Amino acid sequence: MTPKLVLFDLDGTLLNTIADLREAVNHALKLRGLPQHSLEVITQMIGHGARNLITQALPAELSDDDALIDAVLADFTDYYFAHIDIYTQPYPGIPELLKELHHRGILLAVASNKFQAGTEHLIKEFFPDIPFVAVLGNRPNKPLKPDPEIVGEVLRKVGVNKEEAVMVGDSPTDMRTAANGGIKGIIVGWGYRDTRDQTKRKIDPSESSGPEFFVAETIEELQRLLFN
């Protein structure tokens, strides 16, 4: 494959952030005496931005209360940003992979649905020596993945053609983003979504169109895909 540009998802791909997210969600719910959630339940809720996470975490009968969502989201964000790196760690092999990609002259970017300040903070903390060409998260007036705008933004910034780029993520949302943006995708097996039953082009092709995607269950498989 040997792309010129690799766009990485953040949560569940580069970093295991789920425990800190769970703590922040449950903190915001506990402040209001609302039911809290297990790690497994929170895991299924993430990937579509903080507001969607909070909406799903609220009891169903409260999930259309915009004022409540705003208030819980504010408490979640405050707590999470203050405790963003208590349990969070890179997945094994990721720092080494990023260094090798950079060493080979491959451009690196981050395309996440996490809020922008949190995305930037975690990248600076855990990968301070990696010169990412773009670190993009959830920003005002910018659509979330799987909208392809984030892909186009990075491609325009670095002047790379679609055929020379690939997106690496752990979810169907990431693969739809890649397909919608006209670039290849690689879905990894160590994140928050089960890839055991996913093979090439198996993520609902009716929802997107574009280049095929590949499955990398291990960091070694990802290395082979990116370096061949």
Q: What are the 10-residue block averages of pLDDT along the chain, 228 residues in total?
A: 94 96 97 95 87 94 94 96 97 98 97 96 98 97 96 97 96 94 95 60 49 89 93
Domain 18-82: CATH superfamily, name plus number? Putative phosphatase; domain 2 (1.10.150.240)
What residues pair up with 188 in beta bridges, in sequence order? 216
CB crowding 131-147: b at 16 or more within 10 Å, else e: ebebbbbbeeeeebbbe
CATH class as words, domain 5-16+88-227? alpha beta
Report the predicted TM-score, pTM, of the whole model to 2 decimal places.
Answer: 0.89
Active site residue 9: yes
Domain ranges of the chain: 5-16+88-227, 18-82
Write down the catalytic residue from 9, 11, 75, 174: 9
DSSP class of 130: -
